[in-house]
Structure 1
C-alpha cells in the first residue's frame, strides 16, 4: 500500500468513525484514536462486504457501501464502549 492509500484510509476512517458515533444515541466514552481505529477497520471490512455483494464500484457515490461502513462503525463503537466499560 502506498502512502496515498494509507492517508486516504485514515481520512475515510475518521469520517466513517465519526458518522458511526453520530448514529449512536447518547455519549460514547471512547477517545478520538479509538474512533479513528474503529472507522478504519469498518471502512476496510465494509468495502470487502460491498465488493462481495457487488455494490462497491458503481457510477457516482457508492451509497450502499457507505451505509455498510457507517453501520459497522456504529456497531464497533458500541462494542468498544461496552468492552471498555467492563474493564
Structure 2
C-alpha cells in the first residue's frame, strides 16, 4: 500500500511535469501540487484510455493475463505517451478552471 502511494506520487510528479512542458502556452505560474494532481489524473486516465483502445486484446505473457496497468512485457512506452497526453490536457483544463493566464 505504501509503495503504491509512493509510486503514484513520484509518477504523478514526473508525468505532470512532462505534461506541463508539452502543453501549449506558458504554464509557469501553475502550482506544483496542481501539476502533481494533473499527472496522477494523466497516469490513471491515460492508462485506461490506452487499455480501452489497444491493450484489452493483448495475449497473455509471463504467465499472467494482460491487465490495464500491465499490458505488455517490459516498459510500455505507448501507454506512457498516452499518460503524458492526458496529463497535458488536464493541465490545460486546470489552467482554464483556475483562471491561470500566461506569465
Flag whether TM exceeds 0.5 (same fold): yes
The runs of at least 4 consecutive aligned structure 1 residues that moved more than 4 Å come to: none
- Work out the number of aligned pairs and report it: 85
**Structure having the higher Rg:** 2
How far apart are the structure 2 equivalents of 1:26 and 1:83? Answer: 15
Relative to the length of structure 1, the TM-score reads 0.86
Looking at secondary structure, tell me which structure has more helix per residue.
1
Query: Can you give the 5+ residue segments of structure 1 that lack an aligned partner in the other structure?
Result: none
How far apart are the structure 2 equivalents of 1:20 and 1:76? Answer: 8
What is the aligned partner in structure 1 of residue 64 from structure 2?
none
Query: Can you give the 5+ residue segments of structure 2 that lack an aligned partner in the other structure?
Result: 59-69
Alignment of 1:1-87 (within 5 A): 2-28=1-27, 29-52=29-52, 53-54=54-55, 56-85=70-99
How far apart are the structure 2 equivalents of 1:24 and 1:45? Answer: 17
- Taking only aligned residues, the RMSD between alpha carbons, in angstroms, comes to 1.7
Relative to the length of structure 2, the TM-score reads 0.74
